[in-house]
Chains A and B, each alone.
Chain A
Amino acid sequence: MTLAEKILSQKVGREVRADEIVMAKVDLVLANDITAPLAIKEFQKMGGKRVFDGNKIVFVPDHYTPCKDVQSAENVRLMREFAKEQGIIFYEIGRGGIEHALLPDEGLVLPGDLVVGADSHTCTYGALSAFATGVGSTDAAYAMAFGEIWLRVPKTTRFIYKGYLRPWVGGKDLILFTIGKIGVDGARYKAMEFTGEVISRLNMAERFTMTNMAIEAGAKTGFIPFDSTTNDYLKGRAQREFTPFDLGEADEIIEIDCSQIEPQVACPFSPANVKPVWELGNIRINQVVIGSCTNGRLEDLREAVRVLKGKKVHTDVRLIVIPATYKIWEDALREGLIEIFLSAGAVVSPPTCGPCLGGHMGVLGRGERAVATTNRNFPGRMGHRESEVYLANPAVAAASAIMGRIAHPKEVL
């Protein structure tokens, strides 16, 4: 059996295999300020009175927060009131942050869990060896009512990363390289497994970056095997007991030699349109965003600071830094990272998904171009339909902010 089959078998209560459609019990349901309002309305239309278990449902207002306008404030008000009435876990701004950085750090997601989130990047939690997948608002409503979700058991593609990593290459580059190799639907409906010697040496932040972007290859979820790094991360965090599952079989295996991989950049308008940074030439930019559920963790901010320390952001560029949670913000302040960003001429924003989806706090105008550590670069993703987003790791983003064009960190150090 595959890891996906093992976890889902436990949640269904019998042995299940790939391609079966099953009704499975969930350990956690998540929704945000875009998807929860719709889910609440659907829940009420279903005739739902009480949620199945408020302690297994988490609401995180993070997309349009701090609220950008009256409508977004009304949406969060609805969430807040419903959460209070139903005993749902609710993270107010100032105490929470971006959902996919927050939930693991809070110890709410654990190995072997089945997590459904009304957000496509819910697959992030696969770095903890949980089966975590994005669903819609009606699914979230159904899961809130019954504690169950319908799922097609996915087939599994295992990626084995061999060799070593070159300087300035990390989790972001590996996942971009992988998506570039298999395409935006290369893992459609499948579980991806990221394994091998290179993965076992990655820290948790880099692992979360990889599983976060499994959806960008169309995958249902992305797993990283449980090991001592996972165990160390969960010590003092885990809010429940857990039993991790071992990796099992795989339907397909793809080996990747990492030793030749340079820092990668996904060019407009697809996360699969990937090139090594050296091949890009002189691409002038207007904005850099360092943050998001993909790359807004403390380790990501440290990477950016390694490049930015003692330097200034290019006069033609705005640099927006977004620590992913308030706890990360506080840690970055204590470590002196925030001061380095400010001295360089960056703006440091409160935790929000804002600019990643062209929502607020850094939207692009017509013809503008950004380098971002986010996860999508579809047409109009960060603002105007004729704006462009290049996806990269935090060090490349920082180097680009200094140079005013897409740059390798080596060019500034």
Chain B
Amino acid sequence: MRLRGKALLLGDDVDTDQIIPAVYLTSTDPQELGKHCLEGYREDFPSRIKPGSILIAGDNFGCGSSREHAPWAIKGAGIQCVIAKSFARIFYRNAINIGLPILECPEGLPADEGDEIEVDLEGGVIRNITKGEERRAEPFPSFLQEIIQAGGLLEYARRRISGRA
């Protein structure tokens, strides 16, 4: 699958409190959470997100809490995909489990805000169309590919449960 969208840039160590501040955690609705996506990073960030935006972050994206509300807020806001130099481990697994596309690219993709980004999820290729730059993302281990192809752990579990029944 190929995704295309405008780049939104973030720095290193963006934690889950910044992605979705605790005050909103009594909600479990992705659309509602999405309205406050990254509000803790910059108050006006939610208004900068356009449907189909692609987040480009630095190292250790999603560190801190285990709150799955963080990837749900990103998904709920209409962000298509997150590219980071590295992900904190609970965020990494949460994103895979809920079917939010993520790509780990340790060397980073040179980009300015608003650049046109294209991502080939299966091939693991990331392109900055505006700048003509291309990078390869770290490949996923085969078991995680199974979960990703199922659309997340929920769907993977549903198949397992219905297969068992």
Q: Are A21 and B144 in contact (CB under 8 A)?
A: yes
Taking CB atoms and an 8 Å cut-off, the chain A residues in 260-317 that contact chain B are 270
Answer whether residue B98 sits at the interface, using C-beta atoms and an 8 A cutoff.
Answer: yes
**Chain A residue at minimum C-beta to C-beta distance from B155:** A46
Encode contact with B along A130-152: 1 for CB under 8 Å, 0 otherwise.
Answer: 00001111110110011000101
User: Taking the complex as formed, is B43 at the interface, i.e. its CB lies under 8 A from any CB of chain A?
Assistant: yes
Residues of B within 8 A of A92 (CB): none
* Chain A residues with CB under 8 A of B147: 150
**Which of B11-19, B74-82, B116-124, B128-136 contacts the other chain?**
B11-19
Say yes or no for B65: interface residue by CB 8 A criterion.
yes
Q: Let me know if A218 and B63 touch, CB within 8 A.
A: yes
Alpha-carbon separation in the docked complex, A45 to B112 (Å): 39
CB distance from A69 to the nearest CB of B (A): 7
Task: Give the docked Cα–Cα distance between A358 and B90 (Å).
Answer: 21
Shortest Cβ gap from A206 to chain B (Å): 23
A35 an interface residue at 8 Å Cβ cutoff?
Answer: yes
Which residues of chain B are near A122, meaning CB under 8 Å? Answer: 66
**Bound complex: CA of A188 vs CA of B84, how far in Å?**
14
Q: Is there contact, CB below 8 Å, between B63 and A184? A: yes
Known: A34-B67, A136-B97, A218-B60. A358 touches B21 (CB 8 A): yes
Identify the closest chain B residue to A41 (Cβ): B28
| CA–CA, A189 and B157, complex, Å | 24
Distance (whole angstroms) from the CB of B69 to the closest CB of chain A: 7
Q: Are B17 and A69 in contact (CB under 8 A)?
A: no
Quick check: A376 and B64 within 8 Å, CB to CB? yes
Chain A residue contacts of B157, Cβ below 8 A? 46-48, 141-142, 145-146
Residue from the set B67, B98, B165 with the largest chain A CB neighbour count within 10 Å:
B67
Q: Which of A218, A359, A381 contacts B89 (CB 8 A)?
A: A218
> Known contacts A138-B154, A142-B157, A184-B60; is A71 also within 8 Å of B26 by CB?
yes
Question: Are the C-beta atoms of B154 and A139 separated by less than 8 Å?
Answer: no
- A21-B143, A380-B17 known; A185-B66 Cβ under 8 A: no
The total of chain B residues at the interface (CB under 8 A) is 44
- Asked if B153 and A35 make an inter-chain contact with CB atoms under 8 angstroms apart, the answer reads no
Nearest residue, chain B, Cβ from A75:
B26
Inter-chain contact A120/B90, CB cutoff 8 Å: yes
Give me the interface of A with B, judged by CB distance under 8 Å. Answer: 21, 34-35, 37-38, 41-42, 45-48, 63-64, 69, 71-72, 75, 117-120, 122, 134-139, 141-142, 145-146, 150, 152, 184-185, 188-189, 218, 220, 270, 357-359, 376, 378-381, 385
Cα–Cα, bound, A135→B60 (Å) = 16
Whether B158 pairs with A46 at a CB distance below 8 angstroms is yes
Q: A119-B66, A185-B60 are in contact. Are A385 and B40 (CB under 8 A)?
A: yes
Determine which of A45, A138, A150 lies in contact with B68 in the assembled complex, contact meaning CB atoms within 8 Å. A138
- Neighbouring A residues of B86 by C-beta, 8 Å: 185, 188
Residues of A within 8 A of B144 (CB): 21
- For residue A64, give the distance in angstroms from its CB to the closest CB of chain B: 7
- The residues of B that contact A46 with a CB separation of less than 8 Å are 154, 157-158, 161
Interface residues of B in 17-33 (CB under 8 A from A): 17-18, 21-23, 25-28
- Selected from B27, B60, B71, the residue in CB contact (under 8 A) with A71 is B27
| Shortest distance from the beta carbon of B137 to any chain A beta carbon, whole Å | 17
Q: Is the CB of B161 within 8 A of A357?
A: no
Is B50 at the interface (CB under 8 A from chain A)?
Answer: no
Q: How near does chain B come to A298, taking the closest CB pair, in angstroms?
A: 26
CA distance A69 to B26 in the complex (A): 9
A47 to B165, CA, bound (A): 10
The 9 closest A-B pairs by CB, nearest first: A136-B94, A71-B26, A136-B68, A138-B97, A185-B60, A46-B157, A120-B66, A134-B66, A357-B22
User: Closest CB-CB distance, A391 to chain B, in whole Å?
Assistant: 14
Report Cα–Cα, A184/B58, bound state, in Å: 13
- Docked-complex contact B89 and A139, CB < 8 angstroms: no
**In this complex, what residue of B is CB-closest to A353?**
B22
